[in-house]
Structure 1
Amino acid sequence: MQNVVFNIKIAQEVIEYAKKVSAERLTKGTWGNISVKSGEYVYITPSGYPYDKLKPKDICVVDMEGQKVFGNLKPSSELPLHIQIYLNRSNVGAIIHTHPIYSTIVSITQREIPPIVEDAVMILGETLKVSEYALPGTEELAQKALEALGTNNCVFLKNHGLVTVGENLQEAFIATLIAEKTAQIYVEALKVGNVSLLPMEHARLLREKYITSYRQK
């Protein structure tokens, strides 16, 4: 392993948001994973380790080729997914992968969520895609998820769950909450059968406003 200066503050932040994910019941047990990109390295939760037992030393650090450079535990099995997003989205500094109920329902029943509510359009993107299915933990899954993610801040993994991204963990976590809320709204609205969509030109304007002027730096 390389000689790397371990940033304990980043590790503590990863643990903080792992506990938030558990508190919001966005995943069960040891499923899901969280990462932060710092320079040429990625801090990521370990594979199969309970969030409530995590200590800073348990957070794994890998380089951009996915090679572990710090930590005694095995990095999350979805490491290829995180690496591919970071390599292809320079504006992404944090990734959260969860298995929320309504997002998972969308992943097994829909191809996308159209623009239906303003906060989702602004924070996540105009049309939210479901990626094609691939086995978890594979490069194939990483590529299919990346393709469906595009420039959005969330993607639903077919028959699997949800991935959200952001400039930092706070933004990625808010994106997770909004994605799950939007999935619930859409699933329930489909039961009624009359779903009103935002005009696409308005959706584009709202998304652009969020990216260029709404967020506080």
Structure 2
Amino acid sequence: MDRRETFLKDQIIKYCSRMDQMGFVANHDGNISVKFDQQLLSTPTAEAKFNITGDMILTLSPSGKKLKGAGKPFSEIALHVACYNARDEINAVIHAHPTYASARGLVGKDFTPSLPEAIVSLGDRIPVTPFAMPGDAQNELIIHQTLSKVDAFMMKGNGVIAVGKTLEEAYLRLELVEHLIKMDFVAQKMGISYSLKQSDINQLLEKRAKAGLGPQNYSSSLPPAPDQENKQVIKDIIREEIKRALTD
């Protein structure tokens, strides 16, 4: 194993542990993948994030097929592949279920940050994508299109996805989304409502662009449809997840 691969696996372990410590995942929730040498490294399915070790991390093809590792790919690997296909600069994808952001996603409410630094970091909107079942090709299309404008988004009924040039960047975006939405929830309970003026938002978006933040190298080409083998793999994984949930 070369140094780069060791480093990336250590990063995956670190941020799996961090997600668990922050309460962003429960049971077997959440997944992480990173690009490595024309391949992907990813967490396996059916493992609590606090249990992840280096030998559990899978090596996958760019389309999400397992190349190395004892475990199985998680059922939503196609969502990660859709993220990588959308923008060349994306090198890491993280998916979790932080409480406040996931709850907001359930009710389908997009979020506009009220803090100037958050607009520079995340843009002026954290959208909610429509509900779709795992393995639904429509979900991949929606994600592909959503990433033309944002680096993090909520999925109705399925938590939050954040992307980055590094895994640290993707994780920090995830953490910031939850922090902002929790802060907004508390402010609303206190009877406080505040929003930035559009002219201020426009200035902040200009700063974001000048800093090289936000979407770059977006590919307008639609993601390829999953081949029959990939579709069957996804169906098998979902079936096993349901069976295990019913018997645990």
Q: Relative to 1, partners in 2 of residues 1:178 and 1:210: Cα closer, same or farther, differing over 3 Å?
A: farther
Q: How does 1:19-58 map to 2 (within 5 A)?
A: 19-58=17-56
Q: Does 1:194 align with 2:161?
A: no
* Equivalence for 1:215: none
**Whole-Å separation in 2 of the counterparts to 1:130 and 1:150:** 14
2:134 aligned counterpart, secondary structure: coil
Tell me how far apart the structure 1 counterparts of residues 26 and 5 of structure 2 sit (CA, whole Å): 28
Please name the residue that 1:128 is paired with: 126
Aligned length: 209
**Residue 177 of structure 2 corresponds to which residue in structure 1?**
179
Question: Cα distance, 1:137 vs. partner?
Answer: 4.3
List per-residue Cα deviations over 1:188-216 (Å, max 9, x = no partner).
3444263323423123123224426xxxx
Contact 1:119 1:178 in 2 (8 A): no
Identity %: 24
1:87-123 C-alpha deviation (Å, 9 max, x unpaired): 1111111111010111012102243112421232122
For 1:16 and 1:194, locate their aligned partners in 2 and report how far apart those are by CA, in whole Å: 36
Q: SS of the residue aligned with 2:140?
A: helix
CA distance in 2, matches of 1:80, 1:19: 23
Q: Which amino acid aligns with 1:8?
A: T
Q: Which structure has the highest strand share of the two?
A: 1
Moved segments of 4+, more than 4 Å: none
Contact (CA 8 Å) 2:5, 2:36: kept in 1 or not?
no
Matches within 5 A, 1:61-140: 61-140=59-138
**SS, match of residue 42 in structure 1:** strand
Tell me by how many angstroms 1:185 deviates.
2.4
C-alpha change, 1:94 and 1:197, in structure 2 (3 Å) is same
Aligned-pair distance for 1:145?
2.6
What RMSD in Å do the two structures reach over aligned CA positions? 2.1
Of 141, 144, 169, 2:142 maps to 144
Deviations along 1:29-71, one digit per CA (max 9) or x if unpaired, are 2100011112311111000112222221211111112211111
Q: Report the residue type matching 2:21 in the other structure.
A: A
Q: Is the contact made by 1:15 and 1:54 (CA closer than 8 Å) also made in structure 2? A: yes
CA distance in 2, matches of 1:109, 1:202: 30
SS in 1 for 2:71: coil
What SS class does the counterpart of residue 211 from structure 1 fall into?
A: coil
SS in 2 for 1:31: coil
Q: 1:207 to 1:88 in 2, by over 3 A?
A: same
Residues 126-151 of structure 1, C-alpha deviations (whole Å, 9 max, x = no match): 21111011013433322223323333
Contact map agreement 1:122 1:209 (CA 8 A) in 2: no
Deviates further, 37-46 or 184-193: 184-193
Structure with larger Rg: 2
Give 1:181's aligned amino acid.
Answer: H
Q: Aligned partner of 1:167: which letter?
A: K
Amino acid at match of 1:138: D
- 2:204 corresponds to which residue? 203
Contact 1:66 1:83 in 2 (8 A): yes
Q: Please tell me whether the aligned partners of residues 32 and 42 of structure 2 are also in contact (alpha carbons under 8 angstroms).
A: yes
Q: Structure 2: which 5+ runs fail to align?
A: 214-248
CA distance in 2, matches of 1:9, 1:45: 15
Letter in 2 for 1:203: L
Cα separation, 1, equivalents of 2:36 and 2:6: 12
**CA 1:206 to 1:116, structure 2 compared with 1: closer, same or farther past 3 Å?**
farther
